[in-house]
Structure 1
Amino acid sequence: MTITTIRNLAACLLLCLLSAACAPKKKRPNILMIMSDNQSWNHAGCYGDKTVRTPNMDLIARQGVKFTNAFCSSPSCSPARAAMLTGQDIWRIEEGANLWGVLPTKLKLYTDLLEASGYELGFQGKGWGPGSFTANQRKRNPAGNEFNNFGDFLSARKGAPWCYWVSSHEPHRPYEVGSGERSGIHADSVQVPGYLPDCKDVRTDIADYYAAVETFDRELGGILQQLRESGDLENTVIIVCSDNGWQMPRGLANLYDFGTHVPLIISWPGKFRENETTDHLVTLNDLAPTFLELGQVAVPKEMTGQSLLPVVTKGQAAPAREYVVLGRERHAFVRQHGLGYPGRAIRTQDYLYIRNYEPDRWPAGDPPLYGDIDPYMLHYPGLAKCYIMAHKDSAAIKPFFELGFAKRPAEELFDIKNDPDELHNLAADQRYAKLKDSLAAKMQAHLVATGDPRVTGGRLIWDTTGYFSEIDKTPRPSPEAQRQFKLDSVYNYLK
């Protein structure tokens, strides 16, 4: 090869490199996430519920990809949102694994990374929380810059791509008793799951919850209308989801599906698949790497979530996960000295295996308040919880009380396909011993690989770390609850 040839090849190579460097980057999309608060996956029209009316969720589902196996990392607001922001399992985020705590500043958040890359950032509502972002010297909520509403954010934007989180209050308790009936939802039309008694009070409670879901859907419709009017619709990825499951016994704060299984819909008409349903096993942790990839930002290696773009993008194929692993530490301050109810779970397409690390503790919180079931200090009406408590000694209701309130064994195993209400624990059934051992081994391997101190022997901080809601430590049930259940006027969990 002559010197001239070598020089010509070098020149061509340099020209190619310069051309690649100077080529314009693909336009980065806006990212709009609308999150409900405590909505189980199956309570929307597009997920098959025939009673609750959710036309706006249904519209986004027709325009995008609906996930039928989406889960939060933890069935508790703060850790579920912290895991989503960090893209990491809760046992990797230290104090962030608890409700009403802090989110360590050393953790990388997708919000901060997008903002550093040029995105305009905003949120409304809870964002990350409940907790204290000032207790560890954060200058703002980890969700970003707070706005009163989406319209204010749109008016303030300056032309850069943006990422905005609408964090709705709905359908979080308390509900106004009878609000479902007044909104046209008849109690006899709701479906009562097998872990709750089928009675008037429970049906009314579910109908009131449905009314709150419908309020969320109307909020979603208003946000979508503002987006259309802004002119940004065409270049905006829309995500509709919830942070965790509904506030019923065996729901919120539990590793059963009713606490962890959430709706998730992702839409970008013209770019993503449309009117499709996927049963891929995913978690909200996957949203952080997804958003970063959309924003052309490098995904930090410590993120355990996986981008969902191969699942939703036209012409791409994504390998299916065999399982997801979830966890629970302290939810509310509802046991003496602030003890939690730690557990881990592995969920496949067909089975759920749960390991309860402290089975001698009360999973629903110490009696008589059972505060991990809302209303947590019995300070406002909660028809389902109160009905079960009031009738717990009757033969008909006692099984429901034991399902939702009583102590649990160290291991639980459920056949999701044949027992969708997760009523029958198969962990002690020898016919399932091989399956149980296999699931336990897979979960253990995942926990070791991701550094969970529950299995690696690391320092356990979650029973003693700060809890920034002082009123929860000395709960005061309402006068009505005091009379009904013969309760004291105040309890002290600090003794």
Structure 2
Amino acid sequence: MKNIYSKIFCLSVGTLVPLSALMAQQAPNILLIVSEDNGCDLGCYGNSHVYTPNIDKLSQQGMKFMSAYVTYSVSSPSRGSIFTGLYPHQNGQIGLATHKYSMYEGIKTLPKYMRELGYVSGCIGKIHVNPESEVPFDYWENKDANFGKKNLKSYADKAVEFGKRYSGKPFFLMVNFPDAHFPLQRQVDGLPNRLVDEKQVAALPYINVDSPRHLSFVASYYDCMNRLDESVGMLLAEMQSHGMLHNTVIIYMSDHGEQFPRAKCSNYEAGLHIPFVVDWPGHIAPATVNTALMSTVDLLPTFIEMAGGTVPEQLPGKSLLPLFSGEKDKIHSYIFAGGMGSAPIMHYPRRSVRDDRYKLIVNYNYSEDNPHYNLYLQQQGHFAGGLSEEELHLAPDSMKHVFNTWKRPPLYELYDLWNDPYEFHNLSDKKEYQAILCKLKNVLLQWQEETNDPISKPELLKAINEEVKSILNKDVDYMQPGFRWRYLDYFLNDTIQ
């Protein structure tokens, strides 16, 4: 594994083309707006329970992607892919930063690329990867997670402060809003102005259990979406009033799906599928709907190319610019996602691949229960939106089978997303689908080989499983100061010391 990493870590300034190629056309500013823990529950994506006019307007003015996906349905690994253009197993951030998972030191990240191309970079809101020093934004404010959703107007104020401090240079600005991360608040500081009627909402379709408690959480989640949209509106209004949106590409996305059963922390569609909207006047036709498969590993190549640079060949993603212009209607035949569980108590290694129609999920620890099931069952903390045993008992038998599959999945799960968009019917053991299963298994194995996926090697999978068990058995106190995961050595060196 050393070769690919050394190339990624040590890419020189010479691999990037300077701004001279864009002198005739000024390099655009890039505004990346990222929300937390939500799927495509926006008006522009067809959800009539929410009120999201600001994000809907971006969609009307630009391009809405219908098949956008993250690389891992948890915050830190997902953000690690945005920052590095690499899959989590390539950059090292295979779990939550709060649980000491980390990127490899010396890795090249988005602010470093943008600086070489003459940009200033800023971040408002959490970064949430380790080590933070490897993501050296020129400006970083509102650093805490702000799960209380307080003082959201300050995000707009800080954006203006950034613009004033670095006026005259093209900028990259990432604004991370805390909605809709748990705990869900219906209203904070008078926001949102428009509340959702709890009596009008229905169960989330991939859960399909109409319990009053679940419906209450759904309404609160939708209120978070309304408040998110108002936050986006404040941000854009302030930036517009200070002249910051001239020649600016505006991108809105979520970091992964919502915190409900079979969503966040899973490789199901509700965890990996995200909203992705791009408004770029003069470059993207208004009200365009794009159905091409795209992944968040495509973001860094896109930003580099927007800024006038040449995309390093070692990055696995592809620039989205040909999709923006209509030059191409497709850049990927397959997209991929990882997953390790995000924390020791949730450890459950898995990988997935999907094409335009079918998805394959591989569960490497399939002989054990999926720990996420029991965490959601306990309905505590960030998992408060789970379903109790009583609620599951009242569910239709068909849904009981779905939840049992999630609890103790087989090695392979295969879904026909055209006919089964919520992944209720596993087809992996059906004779008529064996050719499709075999094809996707081979595609996944090829991707794992190309990206040096450590858990495709039995000895490395065994090593990370044992390292996690030593933590769960309290042989190691991983929250003590100075703790460092050993996988950062044996994954990188491809050997067990």
TM-score of Structure 1 vs Structure 2, range by shorter chain: 0.7 to 0.9
The range that moved more, 208-217 or 22-31, is: 22-31
**In the aligned structure 2, how far is the partner of 1:80 from the partner of 1:243?**
6
> What is the CA-CA distance between 1:185 and the residue it aligns to?
2.8
Change in Cα spacing, 1:418 to 1:274, as seen in structure 2 (3 Å) is same
Q: Specify the code of the residue in structure 2 equivalent to 1:171.
A: A
> What is the CA-CA distance between 1:392 and the residue it aligns to?
4.2
Equivalent in the alignment of 2:153: none
2:210 is equivalent to residue 198 of structure 1 = yes
Q: Specify the code of the residue in structure 2 equivalent to 1:98.
A: G
Equivalent in the alignment of 2:96: 99
3-state SS of 1:325 partner: strand
> What is the CA-CA distance between 1:194 and the residue it aligns to?
4.2
Equivalent in the alignment of 1:322: 333
**In the aligned structure 1, how far is the partner of 2:383 from the partner of 2:83?**
33
* Cα distance per residue 1:2-28 (max 9 Å; x no partner): xxxxxxxxxxxxxxxxxx989945311
2:441 is equivalent to residue 443 of structure 1 = no
Contact 2:341 2:348 in 1 (8 A): yes
Equivalent in the alignment of 1:356: 363
**1:289-300 residue pairs with structure 2 within 5 A?**
289-300=301-312
Equivalent in the alignment of 1:333: 344
Equivalent in the alignment of 2:36: 37
Unaligned runs of 5+ in 2: 1-18, 143-157, 472-476, 482-497
**1:300-319 residue pairs with structure 2 within 5 A?**
300-313=312-325, 316-319=327-330
**In the aligned structure 1, how far is the partner of 2:416 from the partner of 2:313?**
34
Contact 2:121 2:171 in 1 (8 A): yes
**In the aligned structure 2, how far is the partner of 1:307 from the partner of 1:468?**
38
Unaligned runs of 5+ in 1: 1-19, 472-495
3-state SS of 1:234 partner: coil
**In the aligned structure 2, how far is the partner of 1:325 from the partner of 1:143?**
28
Change in Cα spacing, 1:230 to 1:177, as seen in structure 2 (3 Å) is closer
Q: Specify the code of the residue in structure 2 equivalent to 1:93.
A: N
**In the aligned structure 2, how far is the partner of 1:45 from the partner of 1:364?**
34
2:164 is equivalent to residue 155 of structure 1 = yes
Contact 1:364 1:404 in 2 (8 A): no
3-state SS of 1:263 partner: strand
**In the aligned structure 1, how far is the partner of 2:305 from the partner of 2:75?**
25
3-state SS of 1:264 partner: strand
The range that moved more, 115-124 or 288-297, is: 115-124
Contact 2:209 2:391 in 1 (8 A): no
Contact 1:177 1:205 in 2 (8 A): no
**In the aligned structure 1, how far is the partner of 2:442 from the partner of 2:21?**
50
Change in Cα spacing, 1:154 to 1:68, as seen in structure 2 (3 Å) is same
**In the aligned structure 2, how far is the partner of 1:98 from the partner of 1:269?**
37
3-state SS of 1:67 partner: strand
Q: Specify the code of the residue in structure 1 equivalent to 2:243.
A: G
**In the aligned structure 1, how far is the partner of 2:453 from the partner of 2:382?**
37
Equivalent in the alignment of 1:64: 62
* Cα distance per residue 1:320-340 (max 9 Å; x no partner): 4221011111313325xxxx2
Q: 1:342 aligns with which of 330, 345, 349?
A: 349
Contact 1:133 1:142 in 2 (8 A): no
**In the aligned structure 2, how far is the partner of 1:126 from the partner of 1:374?**
29
Change in Cα spacing, 1:22 to 1:296, as seen in structure 2 (3 Å) is closer
2:219 is equivalent to residue 207 of structure 1 = yes
> What is the CA-CA distance between 1:298 and the residue it aligns to?
2.7
Q: Specify the code of the residue in structure 2 equivalent to 1:26.
A: Q
The range that moved more, 279-288 or 170-179, is: 170-179
**In the aligned structure 2, how far is the partner of 1:21 from the partner of 1:261?**
37
3-state SS of 1:58 partner: helix
Equivalent in the alignment of 1:50: 48
* Cα distance per residue 1:348-369 (max 9 Å; x no partner): 121111011111233234x8xx
Taking only aligned residues, the RMSD between alpha carbons, in angstroms, comes to 3.0
3-state SS of 1:150 partner: helix
2:80 is equivalent to residue 82 of structure 1 = yes
3-state SS of 1:420 partner: coil
**In the aligned structure 2, how far is the partner of 1:164 from the partner of 1:431?**
49
Change in Cα spacing, 1:182 to 1:160, as seen in structure 2 (3 Å) is closer
**In the aligned structure 2, how far is the partner of 1:445 from the partner of 1:380?**
36
* Cα distance per residue 1:472-494 (max 9 Å; x no partner): xxxxxxxxxxxxxxxxxxxxxxx
Change in Cα spacing, 1:380 to 1:80, as seen in structure 2 (3 Å) is closer
* Cα distance per residue 1:276-332 (max 9 Å; x no partner): 00110001111100001111123222211100000012x623444221011111313
The range that moved more, 395-404 or 53-62, is: 395-404
Q: 1:146 aligns with which of 135, 140, 157?
A: 140
Contact 1:114 1:297 in 2 (8 A): no
3-state SS of 1:69 partner: strand
**In the aligned structure 1, how far is the partner of 2:279 from the partner of 2:78?**
22
Change in Cα spacing, 1:403 to 1:39, as seen in structure 2 (3 Å) is farther
TM-score, reference length from structure 2 = 0.80
Q: Give me the identity figure in percent.
A: 26
Q: Specify the code of the residue in structure 2 equivalent to 1:349.
A: D
> What is the CA-CA distance between 1:213 and the residue it aligns to?
0.9
* Cα distance per residue 1:199-255 (max 9 Å; x no partner): 211111111000001111111111111221121323100000001001000000100
TM-score, reference length from structure 1 = 0.80
Change in Cα spacing, 1:255 to 1:201, as seen in structure 2 (3 Å) is same
Aligned length: 433
Equivalent in the alignment of 1:114: 114
Contact 1:388 1:400 in 2 (8 A): no
Which structure is larger by alpha-carbon Rg, 1 or 2? 1
Contact 1:174 1:381 in 2 (8 A): no
* Cα distance per residue 1:136-188 (max 9 Å; x no partner): xx2x6556631242122122123110000001100111113799998133333
Change in Cα spacing, 1:205 to 1:171, as seen in structure 2 (3 Å) is same
Change in Cα spacing, 1:395 to 1:69, as seen in structure 2 (3 Å) is closer
The range that moved more, 408-417 or 291-300, is: 291-300
> What is the CA-CA distance between 1:196 and the residue it aligns to?
3.5
**In the aligned structure 1, how far is the partner of 2:67 from the partner of 2:479?**
33
**In the aligned structure 1, how far is the partner of 2:204 from the partner of 2:54?**
24
**1:223-302 residue pairs with structure 2 within 5 A?**
223-302=235-314
> What is the CA-CA distance between 1:429 and the residue it aligns to?
1.1
Change in Cα spacing, 1:470 to 1:348, as seen in structure 2 (3 Å) is farther
